[in-house]
Amino acid sequence: MSNTPHPYIGFGLGLRTCYFEEILATQPNVDWFEIISENYFVDGGKPWHFLDQIKEQYPIVMHGVSMSIGSTSDINFDYLDNLKKTIDRVQPLWISDHLCFSSLGDFNSHDLLPMPYTEEALNHLAQRLNIVQDYLQRPLILENVSSYLTYQASQMSEWEFLSELHSKTDCRYLLDINNIYVSARNHEFEPETFLDAIPQKAIAQIHLAGHSDFGSHIIDTHDQPICDHVWRLFENFAKTRGPINTMIERDDNFPPFSELMAELDHARAIAPATWSTHDFA
């Protein structure tokens, strides 16, 4: 599967049900919305009623949480069929999921469990990514996850692992800068080292989000405003890069929509001027 570059479409928001009606009523200045793919693995009702209207007005991208691409269990083709059906209906500009495993056999953790950074895991992921992309007939973007542990077995850093996987498969990443910050704090590395190691052509999208800081460690909750550290990381990273699709992601403790818009506008304001030139080709 050849990975053609994804179009630059600007600054987006995660589309969540509590904002459906306000979005339709106010048509906010958002360049695109990202949906959680699995929320639309249903036949009808409110989710589709609203999405069908919103997708008439905004570009949509799809972000999954349950593919479990790193699992050593057989690939779940029922899941991929559901995903395909949803892709056909939504017609997203791109799709993404997480570089992790979440299920094994019949058990589903509903969590984004980290992979060990080993040659074995690299080969396993490369093989599975090819199968999935061939089945879906489109590239799959992978997001880095937050982690709270380091495996004894790991042979390289997370950023080396991502770079190696990109070299092997030409895959692209959704870099969640909050997740990088969370992992950096939990594992005591410099987040800039991670960000600097990922080549521009390997990045399709950025997530900006919040977390909960417990002092001794940080938990990636995506239910808080984006903190100053993450804003600074984004600002400094953006200075060194060409335009990358950037999104504010909030998954819980939903604030008034205006607060998310304020975060989106802040991201626009601190990104380089070149990032405001949209190319909707």
Partner 1 sequence: MTSLEQLQKDFVEMLSQDSTRFETHIAAQSGLAPSQRAEIYQNAYRIRLTKVLEQDHEMLGLYLGDDLFEEMVNGYLATYPSCAPSLREFGDRLPHFLSSHDPFKEHGILQEIALFERLLLRAFDAADSDILQFSQLQNIPQASWPNIQFQLHASVQLLTCQYSAVESWQALKSEQPPPSPEIPTERHWIIAREQDKRTGFYALSRCHYECLKSIQSELPFGFVCETAAHHTESEEQGMMQVMELLQKGTELGWFQSDINLLQA
**Binding residues vs partner 1 (CB under 8 A):** 38, 41-49, 66, 68, 71-72, 76, 79, 101, 103-111, 113, 116, 118, 120-121, 124, 148-154, 186-188, 216-217, 219
**Residue 218: CB minimum distance to partner 1, A:** 10
Q: How far apart are CA 104 and CA 81, in angstroms?
A: 19
Question: Which CA distances in Å does 194 have to 13, 18, 62, 64, 175?
Answer: 24, 34, 25, 23, 10
**Residue 281: CB minimum distance to partner 1, A:** 33
Q: For partner 1, give the closer residue by CB, 10 or 64.
A: 64
Q: How far apart are CA 59 and CA 53, in angstroms?
A: 11
**Residue 156: CB minimum distance to partner 1, A:** 13
**Residue 252: CB minimum distance to partner 1, A:** 9
Residues 6+ apart with CB under 8 A from 226: 178, 208, 209, 210, 248, 263
Residue type, 274: T
Residue type, 123: N
**Residue 26: CB minimum distance to partner 1, A:** 20
Best CA proximity match to 62, nearest among 81, 88, 90, 21:
90
Residue type, 117: Y
Dihedral-angle region of residue 176 (phi above 0 means left; psi in -120 to 50 means alpha; beta otherwise): beta
